[in-house]
A and B are shown apart, each in its own frame.
Chain A
Amino acid sequence: MVNQRSTLFGALLALVLLLSACGASSPTAPAAQAPGTAAPAGAAPVTLRVLVHQNPPMVEFMEQFNQRFQATYPNVKVDMTVVNANELSTVTQTRLTANDVDVIDIFGFSNQAQPYMKNVTPPNWQTLIEAGLLLDLTDQPFVKNYDPAAIADAGTYNGKVYQVNLGRVSYSGIYYNKDLFAANNVAVPTTWSELVAACATFKAAGIECMTAGGKDGWPIFVGAYGLIGAMYPDQAGLVEGLWTGSIAWNDAKALDMWSKMQIYARDMMERGASGIAGDAAPGRFASGAVAMFPGGTWYASAIEAAEPDFEWGYIPFPGSDNPDENKYLFGKYDQGWAIAANTPNKEAALAYLAAFSDPANYQAFINAVGFIPTQPGATLDTRIGAAVAPYLANFRVGYEQYWVAPKGAGEYANPYASYFQPFGTYNDVQTLADKVQADLQSGLDANQ
C-alpha cells in the first residue's frame, strides 16, 4: 500500500514539477526606453540586436562602426548577426515574429504589384509593413540626410518612410583584367561582336573568358542581366509588355537575346563555375585565372581585398552590336536599414541609425562597400566609383526589381541564361524560348 501511494505521489510530483517548469515565469522583458529621450547614454544597459546579410567588406565596416557606437553609447552593447543574403528574408521574418531583433538590414523596396498585374502575392516587405512590424521613420531627422528620390523609390510605402536605403548597385557590368587584355592585345569590348571575339582570343590563349559564383545559383543568370538590358533598355516596360502580351519571350527580338545567352553560358562562362561560391568568385577573378567577371559593383571591394595591386576595369555588359545600346547600367537599391516596430530598444535603435547616417560615417561606409551613394553629399571615391561614373546618368532599375510572376506560371518563366547547358538542360534556342514563353503564358492564362 505504501508503495502504491508513493508511486502515485511520485507520479503527481513529477507531473507538477514538469508542468511548473513548462510554465515558468516569463523572462523579464528589457526595460523599454521612454519615448522621446534623446539618447540612451547613461541609461539602463541595452543589448541592441542587429541583423545584416553576408557581404564581407560591409560586415567588416559594421564591426568597426559597432565599436565606435558602443564607445559613444557605453550602455549599449551591439549584438550583430550575419546571415547569407538568400536567408535574410527568412531570418528577418522569424526574428521579427519572435520580437528578437531591433535593427534590420532590408533590401530596397521592389517587386510591388502593378495595376496590370492580376492575382499576385505582395512582396515580403509590403506584408511586413502591413502587419505593423516595421517602425515608421518618416519624422526622424536622419532621413533628411538621404536623397529624397532614393527614400521615395526604395523606402516609402503609402506615404510613410520605413527604410533608409544605403546605396544603389549595378549588377549588369563586367569586370575585366587589364593585364590580361593588354598581354593578349584585346581591346575593351564595346559591342557584342567584340565581346565574342575577345572571348575567342582568350580561349585560344588557354585563358578562361568569364567566371561567376554559380554555387549560389543566381550569379550565373544575373551576370547576363546586362544582355537583357541592352536589348530591352526600358525594363519596367519589358515587364508590362510580358504581362500584357505585347512582348513574348519567343518573339524575334527575344530569340536574339536567347542566342546570345546560349553563347554566354556555353562559350564564355568557364566550365565549373557552378561550383564556385558567390563570395569566392571575386577572388578567382583577382587571381588572374579568368579574363572577365560579369557581376555587381558590390564585388569591387572583395576583388581589391583579394589582390590590392590587381588592375581591373568595369564596363556595362555590351549585349548589343550598337554601342549606344550598351551605355546603360542596370541595378537595384541594395541594403537599407529598418527598425522593428515592437522593439523595446527604440531609442537605441534610432540612435544607431542616426549615428550611421552621419555624413562622415556614411562616406566611410560608401568607401568600404562601393555602393552608389544615396546621400547627396557623398561621393564614390573608389576605383569602382571612377569606373561607373561615366554611366551613372544612365543608371536604371533592372528587370528583377519589377518582375512579379503570375500564379500558375511554370518554373522556366524567367530570362535566365543558366537554363542553357552546361548549367541547365537546354541546348536549342527556339526550344527554350518556346518553353519559357509557354510557362509564362500558362500563368497569364490561369489568371484570366
Chain B
Amino acid sequence: MNNYHFGRGWARLAPYLLLLPGFLFYLVIMLGPAIATGFYSFTDASGIQGAKVNWIGLENYREFLFMGQASRDNYAALVRTLIFCFFVTTIQFSLGLLLALLVNQRLRGVNIFRTIFFMPVILGAVIQGLIWSLFLYPLGGPLATILGLFGIRSEFLGGQPAEAMAWVIFVQIWANLGITMMIFIAGLQTIPGDLYESARIDGATGWQAFRNVTWPLLTPSVNTNLLLNIIGSLQAWQLFLVLIGYRNGTQVLGYLIFAQGFGQTSGSVTSAFRQGYAAAASIVLFFLVLVIGLPVQYFLQQRERRILG
C-alpha cells in the first residue's frame, strides 16, 4: 500500500521541489543577510559600496561591550529594551485578550468595534507616529489643552526621557493591539460552544468557564501572541525614530543599531556610517532575543503539551 500522497519514483521529489522556491527565497532574503551581518560585524564596513572593508576581528564587539562610557550607555539601552519589552508584552497581551473576549460576544455592532480596534495596525509606523505627534503636540494639542485645564504642562515626547519612553510604549501597544486581539479571536472561535454549555449545566461561573475552558484551549493563541509580542518589542525601532528621534536616555537597541549604521547618532549631517559596528550590535540583539525567546518558547511548548496533549 502506497501511503505517500505524491506517489513513487521521481514523483517523490514533488514536495521538495514545491518547497524549493520558498527555501531559496528564505535563503536570499533572510539567511543570506543574517550570515552577512555576522561577517560584517568583524569588519569596519561603512556600508558604502566600493569603500575599503577591513577585517578587525572582535574590535566592534569590544567597543560595543567594553569601551568607555559608550559601552555603559549601550547597556543602558539594553536595559531600556528589556523594560520596553516587559511593559509592551504584558499590557498588549492582557488588553488584547480582554478586547478579544469582549468583541467575541454576539452583540450588535461588534464587527465595527473589531474594525476600530484593528485599524491602527494597517496605518504603518509613519502615520501612527504622525497621529500621536499631533495628539501630543505640547503647544495647544488635544492632550496639552486638557492637561492645561488642570494647570499641568508637559513636553510629552520632547521632554523627560522616562515620559517619552512611556508614550512610545503606549503607542506601540495601540499600534499592535489589533493583531494580538485578532489572534485571540481566532483562538476563541475554535473552542466548541458545547464545552461552555456543559460548563454552564455543571454550574460553572463565568470566571470558572474562562479559567477551565477558555484559557487552556486558547493555549496555541497564547503561545503565538506571547512570542510575537516579545520578539516584536525587542526589535522595535521605527516608532522611536518617528516619535522621538535620537535623544539621550530613550534609545533601545533596535534604534541604536539603525542610528549607528546610518550616521544618525549626532546632530551633524556628516556623521560617519558604521555598519560594521551596527552589525555587531545586531548580533548582540540577536543573542538577546535568542536568550529570552528560546526558554520562553520551550516553556510554552511544554505547557501546550501538558494541557492539550
Residues of A within 8 A of B (CB): 1, 3-5, 7-8, 11-12, 14-15, 18-19, 85-86, 88-90, 93, 96-97, 107, 109-111, 121-125, 127-128, 130-133, 214-218, 221-222, 270-276, 400, 403, 405, 407-414, 416, 419, 421-425, 438-439, 442-443, 445-446
Contacts and interface: CB of A to CB of B under 8 A. Distances in A.
B186 interface: no
A8 B49 contact: no
A217 B247 contact: yes
Contacts of B72: 410
A11 B47 CA distance: 39
A275 B51 contact: no
B51 A410 contact: no
A8 B271 contact: no
Contact of B138 (A7, A131, A272): A272
Contact of A408 (B21, B63, B133): B63
A366 B63 CA distance: 45
A91 B70 CA distance: 27
B286 to A, nearest CB: 23
B1 interface: no
Interface in B228-274: 245-249, 262-264, 266-274
B177 interface: no
Contacts of B141: 275
A8 B70 contact: no
A410 B157 contact: no
Task: Identify the interface centre among B47, B48, B153: most chain A CB within 10 Å of its CB.
Answer: B48
10 contacts: A18-B21, A86-B269, A111-B268, A130-B51, A274-B138, A275-B155, A407-B67, A407-B70, A411-B73, A425-B160
B14 interface: yes
Contacts of A109: 270
Contact of A97 (B49, B71, B133, B268): B49
Given A89-B269, A217-B247, A275-B138, A439 B46 contact: no
B128 to A, nearest CB: 16
B48 A127 contact: yes
Interface stretch (B5-13, B108-116, B209-217): B5-13
Nearest to A120: B272
Q: Mostly helix, strand, loop or mixed at chain B's interface?
A: loop
A349 to B, nearest CB: 19
Given A127-B273, A215-B158, A408 B70 contact: yes
A133 B52 CA distance: 12
A215 B157 CA distance: 9
Given A127-B51, A127-B273, A216-B245, A12 B70 contact: no
B18 A97 contact: no
Given A8-B11, A274-B159, A408-B70, 11 more contacts: A7-B14, A89-B263, A107-B270, A110-B268, A124-B270, A215-B158, A275-B157, A400-B268, A407-B68, A410-B72, A411-B73
B266 to A, nearest CB: 7
B248 A424 contact: yes
Please provide the 6 A-B residue pairs with the shortest distance between their CB atoms, ordered closest to farther.
A274-B158, A408-B68, A410-B69, A4-B7, A272-B138, A131-B50
A14 B273 contact: no
Interface string B177-188: 000000000000
A200 to B, nearest CB: 20
A125 B48 CA distance: 10
A275 B68 contact: no
Contact of A12 (B17, B46, B139, B269): B17
Contact of B267 (A122, A125, A400): A400
B263 A90 contact: yes
A109 to B, nearest CB: 8
A7 B6 contact: yes
Contacts of A443: 68-70
B156 A411 contact: no
Interface string B121-157: 0000000000001001111010010000000010111
B249 to A, nearest CB: 6
A405 B266 contact: yes
Given A271-B153, A275-B157, A110 B270 contact: yes
B293 interface: no
A275 B248 contact: no
B20 interface: yes
B161 interface: yes
B14 A217 contact: no
Nearest to B269: A107
Contacts of B47: 93, 97
Contacts of A413: 69
B257 to A, nearest CB: 14
Nearest to A289: B139
Given A89-B269, A124-B263, A412 B248 contact: yes
Nearest to B7: A4
A222 B269 CA distance: 13
Given A89-B263, A271-B153, A419 B271 contact: no
A285 B18 CA distance: 64
Given A15-B21, A439-B69, A442-B68, A125 B270 contact: yes
Contacts of B144: 272
Nearest to A91: B262
Contact of A414 (B73, B156, B266, B273): B266
B70 A217 contact: no
- The residue among A4, A19, A276, A442 with the most chain B CB atoms within 10 A of its own CB is A4
Nearest to B251: A411
Interface string B212-229: 000000000000000000
B267 A14 contact: no
B18 A271 contact: no
Interface in B185-206: none
